[in-house]
């Protein structure tokens, strides 16, 4: 591994509404108290969207509060409907889940490599730890060494101010030497997505691909998802052999049938900032899953379909809108086979009290039933619900990926 040099880490908490001030404060951090709290009020839209106790949660998508009628209503509200054309379905088994919770605020993440600088931050009113990448350089998770023919890759991203010039490259590459991630441009095969958040009206995305050593380019597409910099953007890649789809929130920005060379052995995920930036790109909830989900076969032939694609807000039973594609998959099967009845069972990881997790799992299963009935017209009499809490794990609870696998929803044929 190349040497991490010049790494300067600082601890501070920022308010989502003033993320754009991060860079200015960075110049004076040596003079500031690391424990100062930012007291500016959060924008009302963020207050409406976020639970005020989000920062208290241990899990990215595990609730510790009681269900309310508002939970069920919001889970199928207007924000959910905007995803009506969203067809993303996560792969079957989670191999990597990186939420940076094992890393101390102010540190560079222990399992990552770089030739630049970066640090872990927390953000008021937005849950979890965020990895802030700044300056020119590359950033690579050492623990991702295979991107097979069928995989999905997801993460949440923020910027701390509008970005008008150099964007962030997200590179899926076949590196000859993984100790040198900076060599990704010359990799025999790679797909590179550029995200330029832009000022309002100027955001864009483009991609560059290289096959068997020959580079290919394409034109840019306009994007608007980063114009409200106080809101995270959910980014998702879906590879099916040569085909690659890329989503920003509910929009399918790219669908490239021949994006990746057939037989390419992609082995690296490399984030790259190509020029000196005066801002930070922040990411969290990096999730790599493998294996093509086969809803119809699993529920009809094996009598059970297990999915990790139905996600929930922190401290709430609300279903996240990016779950729409997975719910639609199940709804299509139920519509096709009108005699089919299912039991919806929720499961959690082992963090927290047993009784709380049991209650959580039952309420989340109930939310899924409501969503299928309200959004897709599935007769409620065809669905039962239950929850098992943490009592039936399918993976170990000693790693972020293991916990993410245990947080799941099962559809069982009855």
Confidence of residue 27 (pLDDT cuts 50, 70, 90): very low
pLDDT in tens, 284-315: 999 999 987 788 889 999 999 999 999 988 76
Note the CATH number of domain 91-99+138-290.
2.60.120.200
The domains of the chain are located at: 91-99+138-290, 295-413
SS3 content of the chain, % helix, strand, coil (to 5): 25, 30, 45
Asked whether residue 12 carries a pLDDT value surpassing 90, the answer given is no
Residues paired with residue 172 on neighbouring β-strands, in sequence order: 191, 269
78 pLDDT above the threshold of 60 = no
The pTM of the full predicted model, rounded to 2 decimals, is: 0.79
pLDDT digits (tens, 9 = 90+) for 34-63: 333 333 333 333 333 333 333 333 344 433
pLDDT at 20: 43
* Residue 31: Cβ-neighbour burial (10 angstroms; 0-12, 13-18, 19+): exposed
Return mean pLDDT, the chain. Answer: 82
CATH class for domain 295-413?
alpha beta
Among 409, 398, 404, 408, smallest CA distance to 97 is for 404
Spatial CB neighbours of 33, under 8 Å, sequence gap ≥ 6? none
């Amino acid at each position: 591994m190349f040497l991490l040099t010049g790494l300067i880490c600082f601890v501070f908490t920022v308010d989502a509404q003033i993320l754009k001030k991060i860079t200015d404060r960075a110049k004076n951090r040596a003079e500031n108290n690391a424990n100062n709290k930012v007291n500016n009020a959060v924008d009302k839209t963020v207050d409406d969207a976020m639970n005020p106790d989000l920062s208290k949660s241990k899990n990215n998508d595990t609730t510790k509060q009681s269900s309310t009628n508002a939970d069920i209503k919001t889970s199928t509200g207007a924000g959910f409907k905007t995803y009506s054309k969203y067809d993303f379905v996560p792969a079957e088994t989670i191999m990597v889940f990186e939420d940076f919770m094992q890393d101390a605020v102010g540190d560079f993440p222990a399992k990552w490599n770089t030739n630049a600088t970066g640090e872990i931050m927390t953000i008021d009113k937005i849950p979890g730890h965020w990895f802030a990448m700044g300056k020119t350089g590359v950033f690579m998770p050492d623990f991702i060494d295979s991107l097979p023919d069928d995989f999905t890759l997801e993460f949440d991203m923020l910027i701390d101010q509008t970005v008008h010039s150099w964007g962030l490259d997200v590179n899926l590459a076949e590196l000859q030497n993984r100790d040198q991630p900076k060599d990704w441009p010359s990799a025999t095969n790679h797909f590179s997505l550029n995200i330029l958040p832009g000022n309002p009206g100027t955001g864009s995305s483009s991609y560059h691909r290289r096959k068997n050593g020959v580079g290919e380019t394409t034109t840019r597409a306009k994007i608007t998802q980063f114009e409200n910099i106080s809101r995270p953007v959910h980014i998702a890649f879906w590879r099916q052999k040569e085909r690659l789809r890329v989503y920003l929130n509910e929009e399918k920005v790219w669908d490239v049938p021949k994006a990746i060379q057939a037989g390419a052995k992609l082995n690296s995920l490399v984030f790259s900032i190509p020029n000196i930036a005066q801002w930070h790109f922040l990411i969290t909830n990096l999730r790599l899953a493998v294996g093509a989900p086969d809803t119809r076969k699993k529920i009809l032939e094996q009598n059970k379909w297990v999915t990790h694609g139905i996600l929930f807000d922190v401290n709430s039973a609300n279903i996240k809108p990016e779950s729409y594609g997975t719910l639609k998959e199940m709804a299509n099967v139920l519509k096709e086979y009108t005699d089919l009845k299912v039991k919806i069972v929720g499961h959690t990881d082992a963090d927290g009290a047993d009784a709380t997790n049991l209650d959580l799992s039952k309420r989340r299963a109930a939310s899924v039933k409501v969503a299928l009935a309200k959004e897709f017209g599935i007769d409620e009499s065809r669905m039962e619900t239950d929850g098992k809490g943490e009592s039936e794990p399918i993976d170990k609870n000693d790693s972020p990926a293991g916990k993410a696998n245990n947080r799941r929803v099962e559809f069982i044929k009855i």
